[in-house]
Structure 1
Amino acid sequence: MMKRRTYLKAFVFMSCCLSFINILVTLQAFRGLENNDKVVDLLISQKLVNALNNGTLNSRNKIESARQHTSETGNANTVRRNNSTKSEIDSVNIEKNNNNTKQIQPENEKKKRYGSMYRPLNFVPNTTHDKSHMVPYLSNDIMKKYLALPESNYTQRVMILTPIRNAERTLDTFKTQLASLSYPHHLLSVYFGESGSTDKTFEKAQMISQDLKSLQNFTDSRVINLKMAGGIHGNDNFRHKKEFQKYRRSFLANARNRLVRYAFKHGGVFDHVLWIDSDVQEFPSDLVQHLLFARSDVVATSCLVKSHEFKGIYDCNSWRETALSLKHQSQMPQDELVLECYAETERIFLPYLKIEGRIVKLDGVGGCALMVKADCFRSGLLFPEVVYKRHIETEGLAKMALDMGYSVVGLPFVEVFHKKRS
């Protein structure tokens, strides 16, 4: 009986010693893991913890095997030190890897996949189904490829028309952009159409017009008082409320039509009309050359806005119809106005058509930077002041142009940048 007790005590003692040795070996293994911050696999680490608690790892070989597997998992996210609590470990986002673990991306990480100013994409993505209104930055090599222009001896005369109201603060920047145009200035004219301003827009535009003629050698530059009462006043957010759009855009269409009629009466001979909004703060110096390169009756550019290192769509009026959008419109009355940017779109916006190349077909156009052949206006094309096929103003012009047999295209790689809404 005494011998049995002695053997039992010896066995218990040896078991305790072995357990203690196993714990020391396991802790040593964890110290090795602790220094491998870049490649720690959360699942393997959790197995080690469970194994330690259950006493199932009883040899150095098993621990070394786990360490080797951990070091081979090169694309796992970094996990906190091994003294982290379980809640801290569970809160770590794990990137999807060979273990099929799922990554939960923060919002900034999601944005980066679109291509930022500092991380441009080296390929043209297919964004035709994108609903985010974000537009990827592309690398300089990609942009140069799609913006290359042939050498040409330009002779076509271009009339730049710009409606203005309460634009005093933006006109200096606009003047700088106009002066930087590389198209021969002696082939350019600029007419401003002012109406209803409550600041010194008219006086400011007159000073700019004089400089464009005397200092920049533009053929002609004038400021015309369109003598129009009414319109929607207030900041950008107020003026863009949905309930105001039918009246607001009818007023804009009227202003555009008056301005172009004045240009035809007093502006001499010209081949193209280029509409540029005065609050477009940045456009390429070769803008006119790109628009002429399209060789189309109606040509629109992508109108965007910059936000920190990202850019997004500003003008939602340049788009292409889809089967779904046409189906829904077929069920609407002809005089019902369809507006973009006030609900999820059923169309494809111009900036998302890059995958198709540098010139793409459109069904609607915006007016931020829009070129129309002068002969189109001479033949009766205008900006509808009432709803035309469920559209008005610039979008209505595109619908009317297509009905008249004219071509309507967009340049998704040519980007102009509007000021942010106030």
Structure 2
Amino acid sequence: MARSMGPVRLKKTSPVTIVLGTALCIFILYFLIGPSTPDFSASRKATAASHPLSPPTSPFRKSTGSRKPKPPPVSHYNLNNVTVTANPLENRENILILTPMARFYQGYWDNLLRLSYPHELITLGFILPKTTEGNTATTALQKQIARTQKSGQEKDRFKSIIILRQDFDPPIQSQDESERHKMKNQKIRRAGMAKARNSLLFSTLGPATSWVLWVDADVVETPPTLIQDLARHNQPVITPNCYQRYWNPETKEMDERAYDFNNWQDSPTAQDLAKQMDPDDILLEGYGEMATYRTLMAYLYKEDGLLHEEIPLDGVGGATLLVKADVHRDGAMFPPFSFYHLIETEGFAKMAKRLGWQPIGLPNYKVYHYNE
């Protein structure tokens, strides 16, 4: 025989449970439709651009509303108000760090994060090739950017970050060190590098930029005070010595060796070689087939020398290079063609000198290149 059920009694919900449930629902709704990035600090809000077509080196905060965006503003800039001094930290001068990147190295990004210069005054600019390797590097770079800019600490977030993709094919496909440094590949390879540098520079140099710091993507170790240390010299173009750490099989311990041979002082031999060349031929450094007998800064390092000793240079490399923005605004770029038989960064040094800006080197101040 079926047993009849009595009336079902519902347990009364307590007011505390209702309040907690309501709060949880509000939190979930805010998480889903709220802004995707953390709010800027007051100092970052003050310099944020109001429109995506504002100067590229200013951070832009996307609108979360459905209103029609405002038309691009007409902005006026007095470049005489942009200071470029030996104390950029005290004067809160804006730094533009530019990096052509074919491969992503975690050590490079970690080193950027360790820079002690206020990140809210630093804009990062990258240009990457449209290759399989370039796509991989772009994905890895964007992952680190998202981690830093969205979930990282406020002090680690940069003012703005710009990523460009090259609109031309790379001259050589392989980025292996042995292939990159073959003498037969140098002219076409460095012409491509010059085009990439110029595209990156012309697309990112803003009216508020005081200094441009070029850092190669395979430079993985610099002093945290790199920007302040180089700027204190108040030189228009200045570069440290680039070395490389490696395992020495003879001593069975870690050692160092010179890496960047594009920082040099010219020689009569090199000048005589240039006179015998066709207009489109270029001089290359570091190759036995073309002995120039230039004075290479890489070999001028002294363990007991003054850290901030300066020497004049006629050619510079791009591993780490601090340039006053006015030098680039004057027209100094990276020639992708033979310029006085020089190309890319060495051609840039020649062009800067022709414009009246003397490049300077610091033989005893070292930065370190990744060892493949």
TM-score range, shorter chain: 0.5 to 0.7
Whole-angstrom CA distance in 2 between matches of 1:278 and 1:152: 25
Shift of 1:227: 2.2
When structure 1 is superposed on structure 2, of 398-407 and 221-230 the one drifting more is: 221-230
1:263 maps to 204
Whole-angstrom CA distance in 2 between matches of 1:261 and 1:338: 26
Whole-angstrom CA distance in 1 between matches of 2:187 and 2:246: 29
2:346 maps to 395
- Secondary structure, aligned partner of 2:125: strand
Indicate if the aligned counterparts of 2:171 and 2:192 stay in contact, CA closer than 8 A.
yes
Aligned pair in 2 of structure 1 residues 296, 334: CA closer, same or farther (>3 Å)? farther
Indicate if the aligned counterparts of 2:125 and 2:163 stay in contact, CA closer than 8 A.
yes
Aligned pair in 2 of structure 1 residues 212, 371: CA closer, same or farther (>3 Å)? farther
Shift of 1:228: 2.1
Question: For structure 2, which runs of at least 5 residues remain unmatched after alignment?
Answer: 1-85, 248-253
| Aligned amino acid, residue 298 of structure 1 | V
Whole-angstrom CA distance in 1 between matches of 2:168 and 2:87: 43
Whole-angstrom CA distance in 2 between matches of 1:352 and 1:183: 30
Whole-angstrom CA distance in 2 between matches of 1:257 and 1:186: 25
**When the two structures are superposed, what TM-score results if normalisation uses the length of structure 2?**
0.67
Is residue 91 of structure 2 the alignment partner of residue 157 of structure 1?
no
Give the number of the structure with larger relative contact order, counting CA–CA contacts within 8 Å between residues 6 or more apart.
2
Whole-angstrom CA distance in 2 between matches of 1:151 and 1:222: 22
**Of 173, 194, 197, the match for 1:233:** 173
- Deviation readout 1:173-220 (Å, 9 max, x if unpaired): 211100000112111111111113313111221222234434212111
Whole-angstrom CA distance in 1 between matches of 2:168 and 2:282: 23
RMSD of aligned alpha carbons: 2.2
Whole-angstrom CA distance in 2 between matches of 1:413 and 1:294: 14
| Aligned amino acid, residue 257 of structure 2 | G
Structure with more helix by fraction = 1
- Secondary structure, aligned partner of 1:372: strand
2:219 maps to 280
- Secondary structure, aligned partner of 1:205: helix
| Aligned amino acid, residue 201 of structure 1 | A
Is residue 221 of structure 2 the alignment partner of residue 289 of structure 1?
no
Whole-angstrom CA distance in 2 between matches of 1:257 and 1:296: 21
- Deviation readout 1:268-308 (Å, 9 max, x if unpaired): 62111111011112111111112102211111111111223
Shift of 1:256: 0.3
1:181 maps to 115
Indicate if the aligned counterparts of 1:316 and 1:341 stay in contact, CA closer than 8 A.
yes
1:380 maps to 331
| Aligned amino acid, residue 410 of structure 1 | G
2:158 maps to 218
- Larger gyration radius, structure 1 or structure 2: 1
Shift of 1:354: 4.6
1:69 maps to none
1:253 maps to 194
Is residue 260 of structure 2 the alignment partner of residue 323 of structure 1?
no
**Of 324, 335, 343, the match for 2:280:** 335
| Aligned amino acid, residue 292 of structure 1 | A
Question: For structure 1, which runs of at least 5 residues remain unmatched after alignment?
Answer: 1-148
2:47 maps to none
1:191 maps to 125
**When the two structures are superposed, what TM-score results if normalisation uses the length of structure 1?**
0.60
**Of 208, 231, 240, the match for 2:144:** 208
Whole-angstrom CA distance in 2 between matches of 1:324 and 1:225: 40
Shift of 1:420: 2.2
Indicate if the aligned counterparts of 1:231 and 1:251 stay in contact, CA closer than 8 A.
yes
Whole-angstrom CA distance in 1 between matches of 2:190 and 2:355: 22
Shift of 1:351: 3.1
Whole-angstrom CA distance in 1 between matches of 2:321 and 2:211: 10
2:80 maps to none
Aligned length: 268
Shift of 1:345: 4.5
